[in-house]
């Protein structure tokens, strides 16, 4: 970061110099001003020196920053080192836990089975009946994933654009085309097509009603 | 042949669930079938596709795929876990979370060392198959989009995965994707919808065959990663693919309900160059075919219409035999109905609940074949919903109608029913012996004083029932040390004997007074589909999956003379050719020589006094007999009296009052409840 910033500042400096040169060029239109070679040379050298010095300054600033940071880190470390004994205590506890979980992943050796068994027993002691503990969050996530997978299948097989018909229609078609001809299924089986029948009756009623309206 | 008052029962709303996956085990010739309810069934191809085992499902299982590794069966489902089944005890052995979201597919390699699962999150996960467990090994390079189908190269070094809009080939060693094959979308409106690769097959010569939602079966070359040929099979989806073991034939199941066969043939006669050519189309389903299997000699398919269809390929079968008939298995080969003979009650077993019905009554008398007026309508007494997610695996009602027992994989429940006039109440029996944790089959003794529950390792627990105390009596065990589960139990009328049949085809007979093994029936090489002990003679009558009948005298420990005569004479070829197994045997106490059997399409009375039919005689002869004069009838009649008045039979039983109960389940009513089929334009409709 620091380097980049430095680079930018250098560019700006250079631009400034150029602009001043141009300005002097524009003023030359009226007539050349006499500038001695020595003078111009010294001016150029000066500007060079200034540049170098600026760079040096920035470098030093950066160094100091780094030094300060280093110091800060060291102090931090010292602070940590102070609580070494405490830290060790902390360290030992999580390590044990890790071991347990690792073993569980690595599958059941006899020892681990015993361990888990004892755990179960503990759980059953504290919980009434044969209960087990699990995270609700996991279950809901799993079931929502399963649901979305099922929805995917449903959408692919029965969603829009899949050109599906109904079972009643299929069976009726078989009756129509088969060797044994018969009426459509919804007429044969009274349980079926109840919706359509209700609809038909409704529209029938409406029709009659309308007819009456027309006659009166 | 005797007249019966028949209760024609049509209120059992049995609804099978759709078949989602099939897997074939070539060494044992067994097919595992996964249904959408989560149940898994094992069919034995060598034994006339007898349904040997049923592993009950559970809610939210959503099994999507099955895979055999040797004798071990694995399944994976949308709940994101891989399960291994304990086929002996017919339950799930263990489950492992794959941690990749819902699993769409599972595939095992031919070496039997690894399982690959395809997950919703786009990973293919490899699991190592170890002794008694499976262990996660690695993920292959993760992809965008779900993995819907997988197939191993026979060498096991590569695996092909069907995804959305593309197929990827992975190197299983490095886990990197080797090829990406883009699958084009359908034309027209479906152009905006992603193309789903529902099935892929990897052949040993490096050919990849894919079936996708644009209705195409595509053949690819894995060396160059290019499309060789594309066959438009249907306007809808190609949902499943399967290849025969010799890799000369591939079948594809479609949404239309068709199964399309492709064969590897030389197009020009006499030339070596071979090509995949579409050859035959089988249409045995009305609804989507979700899964197919090419067995070499037959094509097995299943789908949304819940039927398990075996279509033989007659060009591959040399001999005429039981394997060259088309089989459609609609009903389970196991009774879901139990009956309280004395009380006139029927217990119907659904996956998640039990229903108890009281049969109707009629006092009318009518001519044969007429419908009697119903005095009292059948009524539903009880709707017993089970707790928990597990489905019921067996249930029974005691002959007196006082006890109801059911078992799931996890629990066993016994209920006591109080029935006074119109009040029905039920109490759960709380203090059951601890051995009754779960049962594979339940049976009550005829006086309802004992309960028999089949348990692990072919053992049977005996529990004595009384008003107050329920005591565990003992456990009956076979001497053979078989580990298979018992699927049939039969108790004798006098309470002395108990017979049990297990999936090892062993039939054990126990003496219930001494509480020990009495004898073992010689093992026959076909599974027992139904058996019962005769109430007066105490003969055990058994029917096997290959339609053979045996009668075994328990007291004399040998086959009866009639049974020997049947074996010597041979059964009629039309009887042997029946394609559904007999699922129940019952006797007529008024007429001890009569045995009543039924399968899905008929019930039949065997009269042991009459001569057996020989191959030249007419087998279905009732109509002819009726037209003959009285004295000629005896000359032409034979032992088998078939009745086909009732179709789609689930259960037939003779009640105490000599009335016959026939539980029918018309297939049309099942069809009415199925999901929507595709709309096909038929000419002139």
Task: Identify whether the C-beta of residue B84 lies closer than 8 Å to the C-beta of residue B92.
Answer: yes
B53 and B38 part of one domain: yes
Of the candidates B201, B141, B222, the residue with the CA atom closest to the CA atom of residue B177: B141
B368 and B396 part of one domain: yes
Q: Which two tokens stand for residue A75?
A: 């102090």
DSSP assigned state of B164: B
B491 and B560 part of one domain: no
Residue of chain A minimizing CA distance to B670: A167
Residue B1 belongs to some domain of the structure: no
Region label for B92, one of left (φ > 0), alpha (ψ between -120 and 50) or beta (otherwise): beta
Q: Which of B80, B286, B682 sits opposite A177 (nearest CB)?
A: B682
Residue B5 belongs to some domain of the structure: no
B457 and B534 part of one domain: no
- What is the least distance, in Å, from the CA of B21 to any CA of chain A? 15
Cα atoms found within 13 Å of the Cα of residue B215, Cβ hemisphere only:
16
When divided into structural domains, chain B yields a total of 3
Q: ipTM > 0.90?
A: no
Domain-terminating residue out of B464, B494, B518:
B518
B318 and B340 part of one domain: no
Contact across the interface for B102 and A146, Cβ inside 8 Å: yes
Residue B635 lies in domain: 524-685
| pLDDT of the residue at A213 | 67
Q: Which of A146, A170, A176 sits opposite B78 (nearest CB)?
A: A146
Q: Could you list the mean pLDDT of each consecutive 10-residue stretch along chain B, which spans 685 residues? A: 83 93 94 94 92 90 92 93 92 91 94 93 93 92 91 94 93 92 84 90 94 93 92 92 94 94 89 90 94 93 94 87 86 93 92 92 80 88 90 93 92 89 85 87 92 90 88 89 90 93 92 92 93 93 94 93 92 89 92 92 91 85 82 83 89 90 91 89 78
Size of interface A-B (CB pairs under 8 A): 76
Band of the pLDDT at A89, cuts 50, 70, 90? low
Of the candidates B206, B393, B330, the residue with the CA atom closest to the CA atom of residue B649: B330
B472 and B531 part of one domain: no
**Do strands B594-598 and B423-428 pair parallel, antiparallel, or not at all (unpaired)?**
unpaired
Using one digit for the tens of pLDDT, what is the confidence trace for B647-671? 899 999 999 888 999 999 999 889 8
| pLDDT of the residue at B481 | 83
The rounded distance, in Å, linking the Cα atoms of B308 and B312 is 13
Q: Which two tokens stand for residue B666?
A: 């018309």
Contact across the interface for B135 and A149, Cβ inside 8 Å: no
Q: What is the 3-state secondary structure (H, E, C) of B112-134?
A: CCEEEEEECCCCEEEEEEECCEE
Give yes or no for residue A215 having a pLDDT over 70: no
Say yes or no: A146 contacts chain B, CB-CB below 8 A: yes
Neighbours of B532 (CB within 10 A): 23
| pLDDT of the residue at B249 | 94
The rounded distance, in Å, linking the Cα atoms of B28 and B583 is 24
Of the candidates B7, B412, B462, the residue with the CA atom closest to the CA atom of residue B404: B412
B314 and B362 part of one domain: no
Contact across the interface for B682 and A167, Cβ inside 8 Å: no
Name which residue leads in pLDDT, A191 or B610. Answer: B610
Say yes or no: A138 contacts chain B, CB-CB below 8 A: no
B303 and B363 part of one domain: no
The rounded distance, in Å, linking the Cα atoms of B448 and B606 is 28
B318 and B352 part of one domain: no
| pLDDT of the residue at B387 | 86
B510 and B564 part of one domain: no
DSSP assigned state of B201: E
Give B610: exposed, middle or buried? Use CB within 10 Å, 0-12, 13-18, 19+. middle
Contact across the interface for A142 and B79, Cβ inside 8 Å: yes
Using one digit for the tens of pLDDT, what is the confidence trace for A34-81? 778 888 899 999 999 999 999 999 999 999 999 999 999 998 887 766
> Which chain B residues contact residue A158 at CB under 8 A?
675-676
| pLDDT of the residue at A120 | 45
């Amino acid at each position: 970061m620091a380097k980049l910033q430095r680079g930018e500042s250098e560019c700006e400096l250079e631009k400034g110099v150029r602009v001043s040169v141009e300005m002097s060029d524009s003023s030359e239109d009226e007539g050349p001003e006499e500038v001695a070679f020595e003078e111009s040379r010294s001016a150029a050298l000066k500007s060079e020196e200034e540049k170098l010095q600026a760079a040096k300054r920035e470098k030093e600033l950066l160094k100091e920053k780094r030094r300060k940071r280093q110091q800060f880190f060291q102090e931090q470390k010292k602070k940590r080192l102070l609580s070494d004994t405490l830290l060790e205590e902390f360290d030992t506890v999580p390590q044990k836990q890790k071991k347990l979980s690792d073993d569980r992943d690595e599958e059941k050796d006899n020892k681990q089975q015993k361990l888990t068994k004892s755990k179960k027993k503990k759980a059953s002691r504290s919980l009434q009946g044969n209960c087990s503990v699990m995270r609700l969050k996991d279950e809901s996530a799993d079931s929502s994933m399963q649901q979305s997978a099922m929805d995917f299948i449903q959408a692919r097989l029965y969603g829009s654009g899949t050109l599906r018909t109904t079972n009643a229609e299929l069976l009726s078609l078989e009756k129509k085309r088969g060797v044994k001809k018969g009426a459509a299924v919804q007429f044969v089986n009274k349980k079926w097509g109840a919706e359509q029948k209700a609809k038909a009756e409704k529209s029938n009623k409406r029709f009659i009603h309308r007819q009456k309206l027309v006659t009166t | 042949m005797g007249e019966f008052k028949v209760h024609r029962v049509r209120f059992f709303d049995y609804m099978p669930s759709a078949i989602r996956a099939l897997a074939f085990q070539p060494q044992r010739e067994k097919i595992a079938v996964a249904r959408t309810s989560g149940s898994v069934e094992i069919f034995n191809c060598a034994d006339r596709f007898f349904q040997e085992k049923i592993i009950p499902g559970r809610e939210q299982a959503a099994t999507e795929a099955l895979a055999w590794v040797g004798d071990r069966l694995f399944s994976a489902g949308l709940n994101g876990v891989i399960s291994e089944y304990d086929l002996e005890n017919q339950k799930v052995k263990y489950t492992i979370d794959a941690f990749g979201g819902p699993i769409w597919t599972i595939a095992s390699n031919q070496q039997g060392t690894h399982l690959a699962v395809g997950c919703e999150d786009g990973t293919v996960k490899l699991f190592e198959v170890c002794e008694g467990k499976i262990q996660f090994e690695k993920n292959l390079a993760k992809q965008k989009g779900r993995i819907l189908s997988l197939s191993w190269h026979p060498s096991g070094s590569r695996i092909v995965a069907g995804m959305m809009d593309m197929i990827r080939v992975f190197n299983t060693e490095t886990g990197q994707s080797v090829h990406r094959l883009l699958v084009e979308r359908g034309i027209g409106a479906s152009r905006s919808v992603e193309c789903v690769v529902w099935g892929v097959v990897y052949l040993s010569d490096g050919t990849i065959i894919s079936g996708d939602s644009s209705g195409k079966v595509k053949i690819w070359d894995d060396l160059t990663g290019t499309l060789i040929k594309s066959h438009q099979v249907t306007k809808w989806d190609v949902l499943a693919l399967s290849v025969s073991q010799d890799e000369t034939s591939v079948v594809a199941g479609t949404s239309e309900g068709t199964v399309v066969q492709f064969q590897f043939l030389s197009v020009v006669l006499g030339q070596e160059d071979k090509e995949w050519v579409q050859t035959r189309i089988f249409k045995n389903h009305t609804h989507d075919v979700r899964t197919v299997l090419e067995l070499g000699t037959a094509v097995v398919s299943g789908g949304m219409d819940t039927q398990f269809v075996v279509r033989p390929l007659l060009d591959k079968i040399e001999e005429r035999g039981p394997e060259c008939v088309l089989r459609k298995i609609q009903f389970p080969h196991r009774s879901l109905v139990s009956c309280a003979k004395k009380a006139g009650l029927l217990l119907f077993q659904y996956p998640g609940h039990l229903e108890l019905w009281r049969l109707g009554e009629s006092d009318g008398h009518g001519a044969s074949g007429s419908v009697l007026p119903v005095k009292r309508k059948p009524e539903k007494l009880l709707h017993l919903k089970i707790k928990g997610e597990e489905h019921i695996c067996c249930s029974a009602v005691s002959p007196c109608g006082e006890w109801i027992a059911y078992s799931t994989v996890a629990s066993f429940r016994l209920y006591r029913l109080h029935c006074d006039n119109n009040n029905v109440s039920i109490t759960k029996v709380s203090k059951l012996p601890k051995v009754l944790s779960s049962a594979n089959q339940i049976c009550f003794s005829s006086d309802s004083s004992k309960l028999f529950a089949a348990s692990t390792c072919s053992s049977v627990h005996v529990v004595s029932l009384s008003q107050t105390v329920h005591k565990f009596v003992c456990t009956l065990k076979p001497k053979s040390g078989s580990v298979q589960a018992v699927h049939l139990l039969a108790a004798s009328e006098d309470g002395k004997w108990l017979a049990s049949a297990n999936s090892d085809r062993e039939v054990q007979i126990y003496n219930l007074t001494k509480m020990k093994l009495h004898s073992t029936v010689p093992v026959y090489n076909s599974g027992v589909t139904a058996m019962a002990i005769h109430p007066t003679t105490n003969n055990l009558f058994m029917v096997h999956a290959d339609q053979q009948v045996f009668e075994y005298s328990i007291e004399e420990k040998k086959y009866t003379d009639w049974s020997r005569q049947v074996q010597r004479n041979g059964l009629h070829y039309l009887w042997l050719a029946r394609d559904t197994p007999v699922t129940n045997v019952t006797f007529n106490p008024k007429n001890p020589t009569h045995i009543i059997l039924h399968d899905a399409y008929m019930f039949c009375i065997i009269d042991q006094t009459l001569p057996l039919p020989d191959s030249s005689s007419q087998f279905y002869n009732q109509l002819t007999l009726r037209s003959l004069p009285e004295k000629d009838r005896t000359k032409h009649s034979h032992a088998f009296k078939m009745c086909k008045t009732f179709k789609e039979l689930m259960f037939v039983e003779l009640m105490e009052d000599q009335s016959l109960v026939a539980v029918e389940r018309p297939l049309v009513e099942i069809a009415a409840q199925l999901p929507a089929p595709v709309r096909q334009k038929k000419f002139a409709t």
